Structure 1
């Protein structure tokens, strides 16, 4: 099964997956990929343009390969704000689209603690464009310690 997990930054998408995925399952998470491509001491949410570009290319390749194996393993894909094009592709693949959203106030508090103005802008954009979309909301998920 392909699970596409959406939601604003700091909503608990990774925690939702951690609570469900088994060791053999595939998890495609842009944050984890970016960390894998950067050196020791890089920030957990690294938005360096070069590292982000490399991680994004790796993510596309991982998605293309992983969807070939959904009959054998579960694939969990974090996609914060999928476009209509991506949503259409995911629906064609019979993905279950999950939205993790503990609420705007909780998300904004978590992002404030991260001290990232870039993340704050993504939160604003997510709530402006994605709230109430076609995704099925998941129950509020406890996230990492922020």
Structure 2
């Protein structure tokens, strides 16, 4: 089964996966990948442009390979703001879309406390996109954790 975990920055997407994934599952999380590829002591959420370029290529390769094994392992993918093209691919793969959203006020406070200031703009875009989606077809939401 493919699980696509979406939501604004600092919503708790990684925490949701930690609560649901099993050791044999595959987890594709850009922040964890960047941390694994960065030097010792690197910040968990502030990555250089060069590191992000490398990590994005590695993520793309990991996704393509993981999609070949959905019959053998559950795959959890964090995708904050999937494009229409990505959503179409996830639909073809019969993914379960999980929206993690504790609410705009909580997210903005978490960003203030734990993230880079630029993440507020990403969260604002996410909420704007969500409003646009709610006027059409909204992905399946889940907050039972």
RMSD: 1.3
Paired residues of 1:34 and 1:46 also in contact (CA < 8 A): no
For each residue in 1:15-74, what CA deviation from the matched residue of structure 2 results, as whole angstroms up to 9, or x when unmatched? 111111000000000000111111011111023101111111000000000011111110
Counterparts of 2:37 and 2:118 in 1: how far apart (Å)?
20
Alignment of 1:1-146 (within 5 A): 1-131=1-131, 132=134, 134-139=138-143, 141=145
Paired residues of 2:2 and 2:74 also in contact (CA < 8 A): yes
Displacement of 1:138 in angstroms is 1.4
TM-score between both structures, scaled by the size of structure 1? 0.92
Deviates more, 1:60-69 or 1:106-115: 106-115
TM-score between both structures, scaled by the size of structure 2? 0.92
Counterparts of 1:115 and 1:63 in 2: how far apart (Å)?
26
Displacement of 1:140 in angstroms is 6.4
Displacement of 1:115 in angstroms is 4.8
More helix by share: 2
